[in-house]
Amino acid sequence: MSALKSLYLKLPIPLQQAACSMEGWRIRHNRYTRSFRAALQKAEERAFWSKERITNYRDERMQRFVKHCAETVPYYKRLFREIGITPDDIRTLEDLQVLPILTKQDVKDNYAELLSEAVPKSQRVSFHTSGTTGSGLHFATTRASLDEQWASVWRFRRSHGIQLGMWCGYFAGRFVVPLEQNKPPFWRINYPGRQIIFSGAHMSEDNLGDYIAELNKRRPPYLQGYPSMLTLLAAYMVETGKYLDYPVKWVVTNSENLLPYQAALLEQAFGARPIQRYAMSEAAASASECVCGRLHIDEDMAATEIVPAPDGFGYRVLGSAFTNLALPLLRYDVGDLATISDGTCPCGRPGRILASIDGRKDDYIILPNGARLGGWVDLIFQDMAHVREAQVYQQKIDEIILRVAPAATYTQQDEMTLLRLAQKRVGDDVDVRIEYLDRLERAPNGKLRCVVSEIKEGQLESVV
């Protein structure tokens, strides 16, 4: 923990509130600039271009980006020379396959060599990504890149009617309330940013009534945050009948995969169908949900590939974000699995459609025969209206544990159904048991992992 963060947590609540607003003012002043508004205007103009026009635009930007990498980035200078190719060999999205995939570990090991010589240190903006295992990544970008990234975010929000300056109830991994605090307020107010920042660490059943009271007091028209946190509040509302006394217009989820059972619970509690935007801190790829409920790849921000995983386990997402010229990454493996759709959408947006985000590539369990099983948590829990939170945990090759935070309405019939569905998925060679908890443990960044397996690839040979 930084010294500044440690100092903040020791301040009395009024000074913490003031500090949140000061930081909110700083962010607003730096983020929503004239250059951001120009980028937003251009991004919205591209929103309904034809498929041919957006594809040509993407490929032209990608060509310039590849040239920038080959000419100004030491890592790629060497790579292009070793492979024996030039930037002219890469003209379309498909041509990127001549390049190797770049992993998170590659970036860590070669960070200095991946920095562009054309972007001086004075023009770089540094930040740190979060990780579900606590292993984040140091990153550099530019002001122009941030303008484009936030333009893409607000293009998505504005397409659904959300406008700059609207109040938002924010539920994510912001540690703004000391863990030892045991009385409300379990939130802090960012007045310049129009945010009520709710603490995820204090969302116990004893405290959730206070969260509802604060929402009713402030009445923010939209809520945003991790699906797992919003679902905790939604489940409490449905269980207790303590609903909000005003209509929430939008529920926006991000940072975690929105599972079908979560979406159904959120709509039941808040009366608004949740919408989502797929992205990551590295901004290597993104997709935005349209008014018809489909996720469209933001083709104008990155060259996004959905390619078969080398082990045959699903399709992984690779991104080449041509907005970031400071730390340009080609074919960066973002660590997610997704399925592409060949369908079209009546909304008129040109981006390819993602049929589903299938979770992290490490969200799987290993069966005794060596097979890996992933993307199935939602199938087990999709009809479980009496489950507040759920996670699959594996420590032994022949056993899985369903970690369940049950609602008050949870019954023995629900338990039998869960065991039956899970056993059907894993087969008779794996024991299934349920572990009941009041609340599931979060990762260091506040996110909830759907699947946690302690079985490592190196252990597999000894047990199969």
- Give Cβ neighbours of residue 203 (< 8 Å, ≥ 6 apart): 186, 211, 229, 232, 233, 439
C-alpha 21/C-alpha 14 separation (Å) is 11
Of 317, 254, 316, 326, nearest to 284 by C-alpha is 317
C-alpha 170/C-alpha 228 separation (Å) is 13
Return the CATH number at 72.
Answer: 3.40.50.12780
Give 394 or 41, the one with higher predicted confidence. 41
Range 333-353 average pLDDT: 92
Domain boundary among 315, 342, 360: 360
Residue 10 lies in a domain: no
Range with top average pLDDT, 47-61, 116-130, 344-358:
47-61
Residue 270 lies in a domain: no
C-alpha 157/C-alpha 449 separation (Å) is 26
Residue 437 and residue 308 in one domain? no
Residue 220 lies in a domain: no
- How does residue 378 score in pLDDT terms, banded at 50, 70 and 90? low
Residue 353 and residue 308 in one domain? yes
Percentages helix, strand, coil for the chain (3-state, rounded to 5) are 35, 20, 40
In this prediction, residue 375 carries a pLDDT of 57
Residue 355 and residue 372 in one domain? no
In this prediction, residue 133 carries a pLDDT of 42
Residue 389 and residue 419 in one domain? yes
Residue 57 and residue 125 in one domain? yes
Residue 138 and residue 284 in one domain? yes
Residue 181 lies in a domain: no
Of how many residues is the chain composed?
464
Range 263-282 average pLDDT: 93
Q: Is the pLDDT of residue 304 over 80?
A: yes
Give the residue carrying structure tokens 């929000």: 157
Is the distance from CB of 365 to CB of 394 less than 8 angstroms? yes
List pLDDT tens digits, range 81-95: 999 999 999 999 999
State the burial class of residue 364 (Cβ atoms within 10 Å of its Cβ: 0-12, 13-18, 19+): buried
- Give Cβ neighbours of residue 19 (< 8 Å, ≥ 6 apart): 8, 11
Residue 317 and residue 408 in one domain? no
**Which amino acid makes up residue 149?**
Q
C-alpha 277/C-alpha 297 separation (Å) is 10
Is the distance from CB of 211 to CB of 229 less than 8 angstroms? no
In this prediction, residue 214 carries a pLDDT of 98
Domain boundary among 314, 341, 360: 360
Tokens matching residue 322:
């041509």
In this prediction, residue 228 carries a pLDDT of 87
Domain boundary among 360, 392, 417: 360
Of 377, 453, 381, 365, nearest to 415 by C-alpha is 381
Residue 60 and residue 107 in one domain? yes
Residue 256 lies in a domain: no
Tokens matching residue 318:
């690779």
In this prediction, residue 374 carries a pLDDT of 64
Return the CATH number at 375.
Answer: 3.30.300.30
- E strand spans, 272-417: 275-278, 287-289, 295-297, 303-308, 315-320, 332-341, 353-360, 364-366, 372-374, 387-396, 399-406
Is the distance from CB of 298 to CB of 152 less than 8 angstroms? yes
In this prediction, residue 460 carries a pLDDT of 42
Range 133-154 average pLDDT: 85
Residue 394 and residue 447 in one domain? yes
Give 311 or 157, the one with higher predicted confidence. 157
- How does residue 463 score in pLDDT terms, banded at 50, 70 and 90? very low
Residue 308 and residue 377 in one domain? no
Residue 3 lies in a domain: no
Residue 255 lies in a domain: no
Cβ atoms within 10 A of the Cβ of 9, count? 15
C-alpha 165/C-alpha 191 separation (Å) is 10
Is the distance from CB of 147 to CB of 34 less than 8 angstroms? no
Q: Which domain holds residue 417?
A: 364-463
Mean pLDDT of the chain: 89
- How does residue 311 score in pLDDT terms, banded at 50, 70 and 90? low
**Full DSSP string of 73-119:** -HHHHHHHHHHT--GGG--STGGGGGSPPBPHHHHHHTHHHHS-TTS
Residue 215 lies in a domain: no
Tokens matching residue 404:
């369940």
In this prediction, residue 382 carries a pLDDT of 64
Is the distance from CB of 429 to CB of 400 less than 8 angstroms? no
- How does residue 362 score in pLDDT terms, banded at 50, 70 and 90? low
Please tell me the total count of domains within the chain.
2
Tokens matching residue 154:
């607000």
Share of the chain above pLDDT 70, in %: 91
- How does residue 305 score in pLDDT terms, banded at 50, 70 and 90? very high
H or E stretch at 128: strand 125-129
Residue 341 and residue 436 in one domain? no
Is the distance from CB of 267 to CB of 289 less than 8 angstroms? no
Residue 326 and residue 371 in one domain? no
End-to-end, the C-alpha distance of the chain in Å comes to 42
